[in-house]
Amino acid sequence: MDGVERANDAARRLKRSLEAVLIGQETVIENLIATAFAGGHALLEGVPGLGKTLLAQNFARAAGLEYKRIQFTPDLMPADVTGTQVIDTTGGQLQYRHQRGPVFTQLLLADEINRATPKTQSALLEAMQEGAVTTAGERAELPQPFIVIATQNPLEMEGTYPLPEAQLDRFLSKITVERPTPETLKRILEAGAVKSANPALEAGELLELRRITASVPVSQPMLETIVALVEATHSDKRVRYGLSPRGAQALLNLARAFALLGARAFVSREDVLRALPLSATHRVIMGFEAELEGVQVADVLKGVLEKVK
């Protein structure tokens, strides 16, 4: 079995395991799998009660990852995330020891991340970018693979803080979780009690799948398409900040992952276009006038696609 077949088979196993638990969320599940294969973190946005936390819990179980959860609240402190220095008197000597926080895991669920202050949110910046945590001048590596799945309530809801641009940029993708259709809701009610996902990947398999994803070839025309899409976000006068080089890398890596999910050994235009909204929606910053007029990032991306065509 070559790399493409192996990755596609693993993706199908993960998808089957998660779809047995989360009914009617096939697209959300595929987007999360692609994000994990691409080596990034995912931001799930939706109103309470749609199964975002359930998805993160069961993804960890299906992918064979160690799992921890932090409930973000306004009084949460950075040390509650990364850990703190404690006094250790073992052996009769007084010394400081780093008490590790819940960030030291393979899959961290940052539940309702936008209910904490930006000060606490920033405790995740180094961990998400470098896979390490520095406390009291000492750097500690995090277990690999390390994935943050954060859930976010819409900003219109009471008690939420907008995530800073630097924090948003650490997420490879932003995945919107929509409410179910009446038909899907009926299936959910008929299914009864929530089940747990069956293990689909062996320990350490996700790291190999990431290596396979990173090796998917990309043709010059596809690279030029990605560059054109990125440049188009900057040329739109309604946009204050377009896609950064990190955003372009996220777009490329997600396109590679979608190629594997489609059992393709190369990146197609379809993969690039599917990856664009996931990698760009949270990174493109609208201008003040556009915000006042109610222009959405989705409207800009639609124009970007038309321009690049």
Per-residue pLDDT tens for 168-221? 899 999 999 988 889 888 888 888 777 788 888 887 899 999 999 999 999 999
Q: Do 70 and 81 meet the contact criterion of CB atoms below 8 Å apart?
A: yes
pLDDT digits (tens, 9 = 90+) for 98-146: 678 899 999 999 999 988 888 888 888 999 999 998 877 778 899 999 9
CA 208 vs CA 1, 36, 90, 185: distances in Å: 14, 12, 40, 37
pLDDT-above-70 percentage for the chain: 93
Rounded Cα gap, residues 261 and 263, in angstroms: 5
Domain with CATH 3.40.50.300 in the chain: 65-146+155-171
Rounded Cα gap, residues 123 and 134, in angstroms: 10
Q: Do 55 and 44 meet the contact criterion of CB atoms below 8 Å apart?
A: yes
Task: Give every CB contact of residue 193 below 8 A, 6+ residues apart in sequence.
Answer: none
Domain with CATH 1.10.8.80 in the chain: 1-7+205-309
Which homologous superfamily is 1-7+205-309 in? Magnesium chelatase subunit I, C-Terminal domain (1.10.8.80)
pLDDT digits (tens, 9 = 90+) for 70-88: 999 888 888 888 877 666 6
Here the tokens at position 57 are: 């819990």
pLDDT digits (tens, 9 = 90+) for 286-302: 778 877 777 778 877 88
The band of 48, judged by pLDDT with boundaries at 50, 70 and 90, is confident
Domain covering 65-146+155-171 assigned CATH 2.40.160.40 in the classification: no
Residue 1, pLDDT above cutoff 80: no
Residue that wins the pLDDT comparison between 69 and 84: 69
User: Based on C-alpha coordinates, what's the Rg of the chain?
Assistant: 20
Q: Say whether 147 sits in a helix, a strand or coil.
A: strand
Half-sphere exposure of 22 (CA within 13 A, CB side): 27
